Amino acid sequence: MTPIKKISTTKKIKSTTLSEESRSLQELDHSQTESFHVMAKPAGARCNLSCSYCFYRSKDFRHQSANNFMSEQVLEKYVSQVIASEPTDQATIAWQGGEPTLLGVEFYRKAANLASKYLPRGKRIQWTMQTNGTLLNDDWCDFFRQNGYLVGISLDGPQEVHDAYRKDSQGNGTFVEVIHAIELLKKHEVDFNVLCCVHSANGNMGLGVYRFLRDNVGSRYIQFIPVVEHAMGNRRLSQTCDLVTSRSVQPMQWGQFLIDVFDEWVHNDVGEVFVLIFDWALASWLGLESPACIFQRKCGRALVLEQNGDIYSCDHFVNQENLIGNIQTQLLVKILSSKKQSKFGARKENLPIYCEKCNFRFACNGECPKNRFTSTFTGEPGPNYLCAGYKRFFAHIDKSMQIMACLVSLGRPVEEIMNIRC
């Protein structure tokens, strides 16, 4: 993985007053404000696990001492500003890590109380948390249920593939603890989804992993994320992909994984199981902008808030170059609309001719810039490492997506595709 520069936060932070914030927020023209997402990391990069492929483990923050979690001051800034700045009638408060449950449930009760203080009539909050699940108990799950949380659980499939890379600090697998956490969530009737990383250990098991998550775990919302670890810093890769880590999923392996899952889903589970990448694809085939930043023409609407108030352009670009402000000294919406962030988002549009001529440019848009470290056969820099896999996947689902898009345009349920031979 690319080394991350150490970040210094030795300067003292002068905080603005709430009255100053209130006046500034009242002056905002929300008709000119797009919806956005802020992923808060109240524990920073700290985690009770030691997953081999975790890209956030490499973040080296000088300000992260053993007891340095998000302060109540930063918490209040985050909650109040997200509520005030969100132009729609639903604000999302999202917790991730590191491992957010390290702070204990009381921290999140304080967040809920703050939300009640700032939430205006007619606006609601969607609370979300992504967790490894190993610290969950009845108290946590009761809190989630009472506050309407959507909880994401990290689970990579059956035990043998989950435990390959998702280990605790002692090197032990975590599968048993994660399954226990899911049973607790079910017991308390907490909405949950599964985030499944696809890597070398499960990359050839698309159908088996999907059926396990659907049948054994009972998940009805699933997100698959490819593990891509660039092993050689800023060196560009050839098409042979020799310079990614052994844990990384290979491009065609990723494409076939998605195809295997899609074929099972499109024949049996449409309308019952929701696989996010299929929903995102359907949006593209309908001529809409993808809900996922990785498939949008521009990015820059999904920020990261570290526990000391620092805000970064993206979860995958938490480094000094992409530090764009601090919520204790600047308004969140002003940081979001800054020239520096606008330039960051616009860079996603810089694609090679190879991509511009692709039949599936509308669905892919070059995917995430973090994976654009290969070169074409002619030496043109910029294609995505996973390009070949995505092209194979998009070509495979094209006919089915056209049918589903037609069903939607006719006002008919997309589940009807299960009765149509594609």
Q: Which helix (H) or strand (E) holds 107?
A: helix 105-118
Phi, psi of 216 (to 5 degrees): -85, -40
Question: CA-to-CA distance for 255 and 203, rounded, in angstroms?
Answer: 10
> Which of 168, 279, 315, 398 does the annotation list as catalytic?
315
Strands (E), 246-313: 274-275, 302-306, 310-312
Partners of 306 in the beta sheet?
41
- 89 catalytically annotated: no
Tokens of 64: 């992260």
CA atoms within 13 Å, Cβ hemisphere of 382:
14
**C-alpha distances out from residue 27 to 17, 30, 83, 111, 179, Å:** 16, 9, 15, 25, 48
Tokens of 139: 């108290």
Tokens of 298: 């521009």
* Tokens 């880590």 -> residue: 245
Q: How crowded is residue 382: how many other Cβ atoms within 10 Å of its Cβ?
A: 19
Strands (E), 29-181: 37-41, 90-95, 124-131, 150-154
Partners of 325 in the beta sheet?
311
Question: CA-to-CA distance for 67 and 88, rounded, in angstroms?
Answer: 36
Q: Amino acid identity, residue 105?
A: V
Inter-residue contact 341 to 313 (CB < 8 Å):
yes
Inter-residue contact 185 to 138 (CB < 8 Å):
no
Residues forming the active site = 315
